[in-house]
Structure 1
Amino acid sequence: MTDQHPTVATAAPRTAGAEHVIEATALAEATADAAGIAVAELGTIEEMTEACALLDHIWRPDPGDPLITLKLLKGLSHSGSYVAGVFADGKLAGACVGFLASDGLHSHIAGIDSTLRGRHAGLALKLHQRAWALRRGIGLISWTFDPLVSRNAYFNLTKLGAVPTQYLANFYGAMHDEINAGTETDRLLVHWDLTSGVAAPPVDGALDRAVDGLSVGPDGGPVRGRVDGRRVLVAVPADIERLRRADPAAAGRWRAATREVLGGLMATGHTVTGFTRDGRYVIEGQDER
């Protein structure tokens, strides 16, 4: 079924100047150094083979449906798209693949091995991608993520400052890997303006006039509330991946509720302006912005 939620209009990113390229490159290098890793483009067949195996190890897809293939990686790299890896102690421990799109660079997939958890390797990888794009005159990166994954929402919207532009219902169809667990794959499409700096202003202290459009009930399930406020909060579970394994039916209820409330608000012109530390999207109407 084709998604019916319209794309939210966003201003075109500014053209990157030399100062943006210098700043972005320095920040990416400093972040990688602080994390004790190196981020670099992948160039050899051996590296790309390792990247495919690593991504499959992280997602554990159905053996007949790999996330990405060596031949596709080679073609993307050769044609000028983004194929990069994270190296820790000389070993590949992360990978990211993006392809050139009509509005900039679309980052298709990124994964970091769990051994690097807590070292900000994901941030270093995205900052490397930002610097790579700016050096090529690209001012915008887009990607999709599951709106139910709280840590990814906080990282994308708050730490990076990306802006959701579209709610995509069941975008990839059912994915039978350990992360998606055969569930419908709703996604938020975000745009990251590479010339506007990194990180978004905090939102937690400016919620006095907000209403709860979706909250977590006493049993951990979704509770629908009001959506008529100028600022609406939409909560998601603390750990949807654990919930999918422990209680698939409850995870399905969260998918349906988030699609209805978050997707519905975006479809009627509301804008997602942030994500709080305690796991709530902040959504504002036209009059509030």
Structure 2
Amino acid sequence: MTPTPAGARIGGDLYRAEPEPAPDSGAFRDRATAAAVRAARAAHVEIRELHTPTEMSDVCELFGRIWRPDPTSPMMVPELMMALVHAGGYVAGSYEDDRLTGACVGLLATDGLHSHIAGVDVRSRGREVGHALKVHQRAWCLERGLTRISWTFDPLVGRNAFFNLAKLGAVPAEYLVDFYGRRTDAINAGDHTDRLLARWDLTTPRVALACEGIPQPADDAVAPGEEGVAIALEVGADGRPVLGRTDADVVVVRVPRDIEGLRRTDPDAVPPWRLAVREVLGGLMGEGRVVRGFGRLGGYVVDRRRDGG
């Protein structure tokens, strides 16, 4: 596999989900706010915007428990979050009673908001707290006239891909090679930090439905011999990547069900997966192919036709 320079961008602004004619802005914002209220209620949390140094310190402690970084390189610092909020950025937390269970931090960008970091306490996972935070973030942006949010995620982590692309309705726009460089936290240590840049166009019907609890998964089921569809990357019987065809109109790029578990049980399997996904998914995006989404069977669905049609 040909190495790609760190920091290289594979693909550019490849997928812009065009919204339908703008709905009544007040009604649309009200609908987004109502969706945020329902999402928080379903997760049994209260989402609060955060403003004080004490609240920022609590968020930093939460992120420290989640990522377990080197003490000399924390994930965030209170002073930076205070500055972000003062400059108009987004810092919010989810609370169960008075216990902080999750948090999300975003900064203003040229085309909307960039959501830099979000995390949920391990004790609260599986309860849709992350979904509630993102739906709140969407409503917050729409109230301020912002219509797009971006963020990065590890393309190897299937559960995050499903959350971002199916449960939220975001779309991948760029494959970023070793975006953060080498990290020392417990989650990323020893691995390349390849990331997908997700773009969330907040006014599209796809995103509105996802925020109202209707997931938007891609169909990644491939029947044997199905015409025009192929598996470009598959999980082998030994858990290692198996390269397939990339010349079909639609290709599926599968990733391990639990790469985090694989890092613990078979760390030697992770580098081949990192390079395989970079070569196949990153290569397809670099050709200008459209990622339709992520399916329930653990695969990215990529349309080789440049217009996706």
1:173 is paired with a residue of what secondary structure? coil
**Partner Cα separation in structure 2 for residue 205 and residue 82 of structure 1:** 35
Look up the equivalent residue of 1:226 and give its one-letter code: R
TM-score, structure 2 normalization = 0.90
Alignment-mate amino acid for residue 8 of structure 2: D
**Residue 13 of structure 2, aligned match among 8, 13, 35:** 8
Q: Which residue in the other structure is 1:279 paired with?
A: 298
Which of 252, 269, 273 matches 2:288?
A: 269
Tell me the alpha carbon deviations over residues 47-88 of structure 1, each in whole angstroms, 9 at most, x when there is no partner. Answer: 110000100110001111111111101000111100110101
Distance 1:184 1:145 in 2: 13
Kindly indicate whether the alpha-carbon contact (under 8 Å) linking 1:32 and 1:38 is maintained by their aligned counterparts in 2. Answer: yes
Instruction: List gaps (5 residues or longer) in structure 2.
Output: 1-5
> For 1:143-166, what per-residue CA distance to the aligned partner results, in whole angstroms no more than 9, with x for missing partners?
000000000000111111101000
Find the counterpart in structure 2 of residue 233 from structure 1. 252
AA aligned opposite 2:31:
E
Match of 2:219 in 1: 204
Structure 1 residues 206 and 223 mapped into 2: Cα distance closer, same or farther (>3 Å)? Answer: closer
Change (3 A) 1:92 1:239: same
Please, which runs of 5 or more residues in structure 1 have no aligned partner? none
Q: Does 1:214 align with 2:233?
A: yes
Q: What is the distance in 2 between the residues matched to 1:13 and 1:72?
A: 34
Residue in 2 aligned with 1:127? 135
Q: Kindly tell me the number of residue pairs found equivalent between the two proteins.
A: 289
Contact 1:13/1:194 (<8 A) preserved: no
Contact 2:69–2:75 (8 Å) recurs in 1: yes
Q: How does 1:1-289 map to 2 (within 5 A)?
A: 1-11=6-16, 17-196=25-204, 197-199=208-210, 201-204=216-219, 207=222, 208=226, 209-286=228-305, 288-289=308-309
Q: CA deviation at 1:205?
A: 7.2
More deviation in 82-91 or 137-146?
82-91
Task: Tell me by how many angstroms 1:170 deviates.
Answer: 0.4
The higher relative CO (CA closer than 8 Å, separation ≥ 6) is in: 2
Q: Secondary structure at the match of 2:257?
A: coil
With 273-282 and 200-209 compared, the bigger mean Cα shift is at: 200-209
Distance 2:27 2:42 in 1: 22
The one-letter code of the counterpart of 1:218 is A
Cα distance in structure 1, aligned partners of 2:303 and 2:79? 44
Deviation, 1:178, is 1.3
For the aligned residue pairs, the C-alpha RMSD in angstroms reads 1.6
Q: What is the identity percentage for the equivalent residue pairs of Structure 1 and Structure 2?
A: 52
